[in-house]
Amino acid sequence: MNKPLRMIVVGMGARAMIYAREALLHPDLFCIAGVVDVNLDRIRTAQQLFRIPDSHCFTSVEELTAVPRFADAVINGTMDPQHVATTIPLLRHGYDVLLEKPFAVNQKEADLLLRCADETGRIVMVCHVLRYAPFYREIQEVLNSGEIGKVIHIHMNEQVSYFHESVSYVRGKYASPELCGSGMLLSKCSHDLDIMAWLMKGNLPKTVSSVGSVIQFLPEMAPEHAGTHCLLNCPAERDCIYSAKRLYIENPQRWANNIWHDIGANSPTKAEKIRLLHNIDNPYSRCVYRCGLKIVDHQSILIQFSDGATGTFSMNGGASASARNIHITGTKGEIIGNFESESFTVHKISPESPGGRTSRIIDVSKDQHGNPHGNGDQAIVQDFLSILKGEPCSSCCTTLADSMVGHKLVFLAETSREKGGEIQRY
């Protein structure tokens, strides 16, 4: 038990690499002993970084499970539609799995995975990394203390920045169910609905309803005389906020790296980037208004919980900046916060105080340090290692059955939206 645990990475994409790199920082805790990926370049990169022998490199899960088990667990970072199909044979081969969210793209697949985990007795831990962010952990502690009384309502809101929206959800690989296996609510917001279910502490949902549509990224919303590709035939390119040249070359931000990674370009120069965006087959040079978007760009959900409490969640794509906001109303007070500000305020009803309430601010910036997931990526790896060793885990740790609640909320919300907002029973 004192030896470092051995792990295999299946799907060495950007997310899995974040978890895997923790092995380089904590070699006394675990090592990366194998890799599975359809991309040979990613296999070679992993080999060099983690010193993986050729005999432990594979191009499919079938190849991996054809040899005797040589590690303790697997980090599964495959694309969403592959999660269940790849995890089930891993469980049956004796591996425990740290599985990227969403763990399934529909209820049928989710039930299959849960049944397999029960039958094999293996561990499946879902990467709900935002649970581990100090912002949400501190909110949970305040709720558990009873300071604001019984929860009456939780409102959560996710603003998806115009930059992230254009890269991932309009031009990118999450733009249609055919590409990613699900709608935007599951691929982007399963974090948030899991958080809501987690904060409700086992108070299960009773009913769900939802509405949403595409309102921005439509041909009729394009600038006058707009072309089909930003750098090829668009006289409106210089004035368009979604110009591929302006977003991905002149003002590159965090998500720009995904573009070159996804089209197989390794550290291209500025000139090479411009050349790539001139390619009519490059999806990232398309006009965002003419991409034929098949997922919603905004959606809202209303949930009634078993004890009568309610929850609302709204997702808005194309916002000026990314933001996650939360407002919880209890019988004795409120919690109001913004994840990106790395703080939240606790208001308590106090008739004798000026203004009728007292307020205190809880600042978590010293723990989050501006990290996009509040350092949750690192914390979840540590918790997974604890589970594998049979050690106590944190209050953020989730079983697959717990994770099912947030996922089922998404599945029911999508059914409701498709039926014009019809109420669905949980």
Q: In sequence order, what are the residues at sequence separation of 6 or more whose Cβ sits closer than 8 angstroms to the Cβ of residue 360?
A: 345, 346
DSSP string, 327-341: EEEESSEEEEEEGGG
Kindly report the number of other CB atoms within 10 A of residue 272's CB atom: 12
DSSP string, 21-38: THHHH-TTTEEEEEEE-S
- Residue from 142, 16, 135 nearest 73 by CA: 16
pLDDT at 210 (0 to 100)? 98
- Residue from 202, 153, 414, 412 nearest 304 by CA: 153
Q: In sequence order, what are the residues at sequence separation of 6 or more whose Cβ sits closer than 8 angstroms to the Cβ of residue 102?
A: 80, 83, 182, 186, 187, 190, 407, 410
Helix (H, G, I), strand (E, B) or coil at 137: helix
CA dist., res. 183 & res. 92, Å (int): 29
pLDDT at 374 (0 to 100)? 66
Helix (H, G, I), strand (E, B) or coil at 59: coil
pLDDT at 174 (0 to 100)? 87
Amino acid at position 317, single letter: G
Q: State the 10-residue block means of pLDDT for the chain, 426 residues long.
A: 90 93 96 97 95 98 98 96 97 98 95 97 95 94 97 98 93 85 89 95 95 96 95 94 92 73 77 90 94 95 98 97 97 97 97 95 86 78 94 86 94 97 97
Q: What is the DSSP letter of 243?
A: -
pLDDT at 383 (0 to 100)? 94
CA dist., res. 414 & res. 222, Å (int): 27
Q: Using CB atoms within 10 Å of the CB of residue 250, give its burial: 0 to 12 exposed, 13 to 18 middle, 19+ buried.
A: exposed
pLDDT at 263 (0 to 100)? 75
Sign, CA dihedral 68-74-80-84, equals: positive
CA dist., res. 227 & res. 216, Å (int): 17
What is the pTM (predicted TM-score) of this model?
Answer: 0.91
Contact present, 173 and 184 (Cβ < 8 Å): no
Kindly report the number of other CB atoms within 10 A of residue 33's CB atom: 21
Kindly report the number of other CB atoms within 10 A of residue 355's CB atom: 8
Q: In sequence order, what are the residues at sequence separation of 6 or more whose Cβ sits closer than 8 angstroms to the Cβ of residue 312?
A: 153, 154, 155, 156, 300, 301, 302, 303
Q: State both tokens at 199.
A: 């904060």
Percent of the chain as helix, strand, coil, to the nearest 5 = 40, 25, 35
Q: State both tokens at 214.
A: 């595409």
Amino acid at position 267, single letter: S
Helical H runs in 125-225? 134-145, 162-164, 177-180, 184-199
